[in-house]
Amino acid sequence: MPAVSKGDGMRGLAVFISDIRNCKSKEAEIKRINKELANIRSKFKGDKALDGYSKKKYVCKLLFIFLLGHDIDFGHMEAVNLLSSNKYTEKQIGYLFISVLVNSNSELIRLINNAIKNDLSSRNPTFMCLALHCIANVGSREMAEAFAGEIPRILVAGDTMDSVKQSAALCLLRLYKTSPDLVLMGEWTSRVVHLLNDQHMGVVTAAISLITCLSQKNPDEFKTCVSLAVSRLSRIVSSASTDLQDYTYYFVPAPWLSCKLLRLLQCYPPPEDGAVKGRLVECLETILNKAQEPPKSKKVQHSNAKNAILFEAISLIIHYDSEPNLLVRACNQLGQFLQHRETNLRYLALESMCTLASSEFSHEAVKTHIETVINALKTERDVSVRQRAADLLYAMCDRSNAKQIVAEMLSYLETADYSIREEMVLKVAILAEKYAVDYSWYVDTILNLIRIAGDYVSEEVWYRVIQIVINRDDVQGYAAKTVFEALQAPACHENMVKVGGYILGEFGNLIAGDPRSSPLVQFNLLHSKFHLCSVPTRALLLSAYIKFINLFPETKSTIQEVLRSDSQIRNSDVELQQRAVEYLKLSSIASTDVLATVLEEMPPFPERESSILAKLKKKKGPGAVSVNELEEGKREGGELNGGGERGGDSSAIAASNASTPSPSADLLGLRTGPPVTAAAPSAGSLLVDVFSEAGVNDDGFLRDLEPPTESSDSLLAEGPGDSDSAPPTVVSEDPAPPLPESNELLNKFVCKNNGVLFENQLLQIGIKSEYRQNLGRMYLFYGNKTSVQFLNVQAKPVEPLIEGGAQVQQVINIECLSDFMEAPLLNIKFRYGGALQNLTLKLPVTINKFFQPTEMASHDFFQRWKQLSQPQQEAQKIFKANHAMDTEVLKAKLLGLGMALLENVDPNPENFVCAGVIQTKAQQVGSLLRLEPNAQAQMYRLTLRSSKDTVSKRLCELLAEQF
């Protein structure tokens, strides 16, 4: 083995390092460094040209100073000079300096690239490797521009040395990750796949990382790698521990390669070819079996390497999620690890089980370990392990065990580490809401949460409990009673006072009948906390007091006295003072009627995504909520809090047409909407049903909304309200076929909600629309551009007559029942002059209107992306740009699409990724989008992945027209 003190030893450097180490204080060290920096600077600037050795030595010193944590702002040029030295050691140090201290100074990069180019073409493997390492270390876009074409050639050339191939593969991977648009697929791609068969294990090990990354982005192109990977894996798994010589690590054959192969397979669904699949299942079984065999070595390296493969195999089994037998075996294996004496294994088992819990096949099996996990939460010494246990409990929670898990988490909170309390609080709050069967349990849980960990209860949590109490009248009395009791504790958290103040202010009357909680008692209890609270809480309490005056006139004088006291009415805080003055005045001059109106009970809150869930999602780190959970949460939430059942279930979209806007609550699905009837069994998947309370007249507008493929006899469209008042006139003329430009018109509205849908010389139709969840409302404005009346227009829902120059408005309520392809048709007939005008347009309702944006972290995005890797879930289009490729415009369009535009997710900043959930009544469809602009080629590549294939396809079609 080479000894260290080689001929290149730099004495000056060693002395300098010793000096630094001998410095007694930080100050002395800084002094010594500054001295050295001055010295080097003068040498570099000096008149005398430095020889290579000195240059190398000084550059090395600078490097050392940088690594000590000091900033280095010179020496780059000298390092670049070293690159072209013909002394290997000088070149090597030059490259090291560049790799460690990258500077995006483009002037310099050009010089560096030049040196790299020379070394790459030197055909000397050692030099080539140095150059490739440098590209991989810097990985800048300029380098990608210069070398992305060359490296694939080196990689697949027949005469390239193995070591160079290895470096080239990983170098290319780095470039692909930073600038995927510059690495063009080509003839080399198929040859790269065949590197999986390479004789040299090192080449396979390196190449497979590249293949994995390429497969993730272009699964179809690399499909053949699946069978190659399976056969390679099978050869390794079945080999004896000595077969692979130096690639055997502590008696485990090729652990790195095995894990990478298993990871590659996770980019694909289970192999379709029965033989390949059989072989793979056999491998996985062998790996599971090996876990039960006695170890071949007592060394921890042996068991770690072996278990690394085992965990990777389990990940693959979970990814496939289709082999119940393997899933259950995996779960049992993890169950064993849960009680293993190695902390690492317990940690990993908890982590893996978290993903296993979301599989339908293994959810029940995971649940059987609940006691062990609870025990881990209570007894593990290491906080990161406890954290994993808490995550797993959260993941395995369902209706059957929610009470137990929430209780355990609550009791853990009493002693939990400060670092994880806030997250625990959020999780408890979410579980309590999600699985609340009765709301008294929910209220109890949240109040306990505030009692135990009040400091960690964020605003979102107590806002949420108030929202829920206000929206559910069956729990209001109980909530009032419970907060009243909780407030009686001698010391209670300020958050409890907030909740208490709000709830008693709204619903104190519900418990006022009991003399133990008479109005005055309630007031005194609240007021006893007043002086201990912060300003915002005091402000809230003052509002509660004025509400008391309305609820209980008998408390008026007491409360007025409080308001009148100097500490309120002259409070130094403006907000408090203002409230005191205004409330006092209000209570003394307003009549009871006015008071009752002003201080009326809060109306129900519009239903929306739980703000707590959003908060937890935002928090990075373990247990960040995946989209899956989010969807589930929403679904559950809707079920619990959404209340009313909505009518109309047989068609894909039911739209109810109301001439007067209903309260916004209707839009949000809080109250039971008017049942939507009709909905013919449609040939198409879609029916828009229009009915109206408006009177029907003989003349005016007529609009029928109908499914595109439907015959006219199933065109029925009256609601219960108008069927008895006057039957709609049947139109003799069939609706006209859609205008040829209707598709184009539709496309205009994919990314926006308002605008002019149609215009000719007679008529202008404007649209304003808004969407929330699976509901939407659209306002149509019909403008008569002429100066004469449109006469004798047969009409149903809107006012029958449009004066010249006038406009009428029509409101359509829309509910998306399931996903759909075709937009509903809008048929308009009216008489202008003597002629009947008949035109049919596509109503701009497209599936993306029902998007709910989903913010997520990079990790969640990619995990989700991977979960949607089945070929039919993806739709992709490559198309030419129709408009200028302006980033801001693209962003605006993507936002208009309704998805969340995710920043810092895609490694390439040029690309856009978005995430959203399409809300339909039948289901929620999670969708991910990726748009890759290629400015040079003026092309885009658009990729959509959704849990439903038709949705991906439709979105892709719609969007391809937009950019």
Give, as ranges, the residues between 603 and 662 that touch another protein (CB under 8 A). Answer: 620-622, 624
454 binding another protein? (CB under 8 A): no
Note whether 343 binds another protein by CB under 8 A: yes
State which of residues 37, 62, 140, 487 lies at the interface with another protein (CB under 8 A). Answer: 140
Q: Are 796 and 728 in contact (CB under 8 A)?
A: yes
Rg (CA), the chain: 35
How far apart are CB 129 and another protein at their closest, in Å? 8
Q: Is 167 in the site for another protein (CB under 8 A)?
A: yes
Which residue lies nearer to another protein by CB, 136 or 778?
136
Tokens of 330: 């995996």
Nearer to another protein, 372 or 858 (CB): 858
Q: Which two tokens stand for residue 763?
A: 């008529």
Using CB under 8 A as the binding rule, whether residue 730 contacts another protein is answered as no
Q: Would you say 20 or 895 has its CB closer to another protein?
A: 20
Q: Which of 37, 156, 214, 259 binds another protein (CB under 8 A)?
A: 259
Tell whether residue 671 is a contact of another protein (CB under 8 A).
Answer: no
- Binds another protein by CB under 8 A, chosen from 113, 160, 215, 307: 307
The yes or no reply on residue 160 touching another protein (CB under 8 A) is no
What is the distance between the alpha carbons of residues 173 and 133, in angstroms, rounded to a whole number?
12
Is 163 a binding residue for another protein by CB under 8 A? The answer is: yes
Measured CA to CA, the distance from residue 353 to residue 356 in angstroms comes to 5
**Interface residue with another protein, options 253, 255, 519, 707 (CB under 8 A):** 255
C-alpha closest to that of 281 among 221, 218, 324, 247: 324
First-to-last C-alpha distance (Å) of the chain: 61
Q: Does 906 bind another protein (CB under 8 A)?
A: no
Q: Taking CB under 8 A as the criterion, which residues in 858-887 touch another protein?
A: 858-859, 862-863
Q: How far is the CB of 612 from another protein (least distance, A)?
A: 20
In the range 35-64, which residues lie near another protein by CB under 8 A?
60, 63-64
HEC-encoded secondary structure of 822-863: CCCEEEEEEEECCEEEEEEEECCCCHHHHEEECCCCHHHHHH
In 184-323, which ranges are continuous DSSP H helix?
Answer: 187-193, 201-217, 225-237, 255-265, 274-292, 300-320
What residue type is 381 in one-letter code? R
Interface mask toward another protein for 75-114; x: CB under 8 A: -----------xxxx--xx--x--xx-x------------
Give the one residue of 196, 348, 436, 826 binding another protein; rule: CB under 8 A: 348
Q: 59 or 470: whose CB is closer to another protein?
A: 59
Taking the complex as a whole, the smallest distance from the CB of residue 360 to another protein amounts, in Å, to: 23
Number of residues that bind another protein (CB under 8 A): 91
String of contacts with another protein for each residue 171-200, x by CB under 8 A: x-xx--xx----------------------
Shortest Å distance, C-beta 426 to another protein: 16
Which is nearer to another protein, 135 or 492 (by Cβ)?
135
Nearest residue (CB) to another protein, 260 versus 842: 260
Judged by beta carbon, residue 101 or residue 841, the one nearer another protein is: 101
Residues 556-575 touching another protein, rule: CB under 8 A, are none
Q: How far apart are CA 800 and CA 797, in angstroms?
A: 8
**Quick one: 206 or 676, whose CB is closer to another protein?**
206
Degrees, nearest 5: CA angle 651-652-654: 70
Helix, coil or strand: residue 680: coil
788 binds another protein (CB under 8 A): no
What is the closest distance, in whole angstroms, from the C-beta atom of residue 37 to another protein in the complex? 17
* H or E element, residue 546: helix 535-551
Long-range own/partner contacts, residues 476-480 (CB < 8 A, 24 or more apart): 476/503, 476/506, 476/507, 476/510, 477/507, 477/510, 477/511, 478/439, 478/440, 478/443, 479/443, 479/503, 479/507, 480/504, 480/507, 480/508, 480/510, 480/511
Nearer to another protein, 166 or 946 (CB): 166
28 binds another protein (CB under 8 A): no
Residue among 131, 280, 284, 308 that touches another protein (CB under 8 A)? 308
User: Strand pairing partners for 755?
Assistant: 767
- Binding to another protein (CB under 8 A) within 376-415 occurs at 381-382, 384-385, 387
* Contact call for residues 229 and 241 (beta carbons, < 8 A): no
Would you give the DSSP letter of residue 779? E
Is residue 736 within 8 A of residue 840, CB to CB? The reply is yes
Cα 198–201–203 angle (5° rounding)? 65
Using CB under 8 A as the binding rule, whether residue 21 contacts another protein is answered as yes
State which residue, 157 or 489, has the beta carbon closest to another protein. 157
Which segment (132-140, 403-411, 497-505, 939-947) binds another protein by CB under 8 A?
A: 132-140
Of 81, 231, 304, 440, the one binding another protein by CB under 8 A: 304
* Between 487 and 928, CB nearer to another protein: 928
Segment contacting another protein by CB under 8 A, of 42-50, 110-118, 847-855, 857-865: 857-865
Strand partners, 768: 779
Provide the token pair at 148: 């992305």
Considering only CA atoms, which of 371, 357, 283, 367 is closest in space to residue 327? 357
* Among the listed residues 303, 261, 267, the one whose alpha carbon sits nearest the alpha carbon of residue 284: 261
Residue 286 vs 858, nearer CB to another protein = 858
Report, in Å, the least distance between residue 404 CB and another protein.
25
**564 sits in which H/E element:** helix 556-564
Check residue 122 for interaction with another protein (CB under 8 A).
Answer: yes
Question: For residues 379 and 386, what is the distance between their CA atoms, to the nearest angstrom?
Answer: 8
Amino acid at 27: E
Choose between 164 and 496: whose C-beta lies nearer to another protein.
164
Shortest spacing between CB 931 and another protein, in angstroms = 22
323: left (phi over 0), alpha (psi -120 to 50) or beta: beta
The verdict on 301 binding another protein (CB under 8 A) reads: yes
Residue 243 or 575 having the CB closest to another protein: 243
Which residue is associated with the tokens 């800084």?
30
Integer angstrom CA distances of residue 612 from 430, 510, 698, 960: 7, 28, 53, 36
Q: Which of 12, 81, 150, 202 binds another protein (CB under 8 A)?
A: 202
* Of the candidate residues 58, 222, 268, 311, the single one contacting another protein (CB under 8 A): 311
| Interface with another protein (CB under 8 A), residue from 82, 83, 136, 424 | 136
Q: Does 314 bind another protein (CB under 8 A)?
A: no
Separation of alpha carbons 798 and 410, rounded Å: 57
Burial (Cβ within 10 Å: 0-12, 13-18, ≥19) of residue 635: middle
Element (H, E) at 253: strand 252-253
| Phi (first) and psi of residue 423, to 5 degrees | -65, -40
Stretch that binds another protein, among 229-237, 277-285, 340-348, 649-657 (CB under 8 A): 340-348
Least gap, CB of 85 to another protein (angstroms): 9
| Residue placing its CB nearer to another protein in the complex, 13 or 821 | 13
> Which is nearer to another protein, 358 or 774 (by Cβ)?
358
d(CA 348, CA 354): 10
610, 608, 621, 632: which is closest to 423 by C-alpha?
621
Q: Which residue type, as a one-letter code, is found at position 557?
A: S
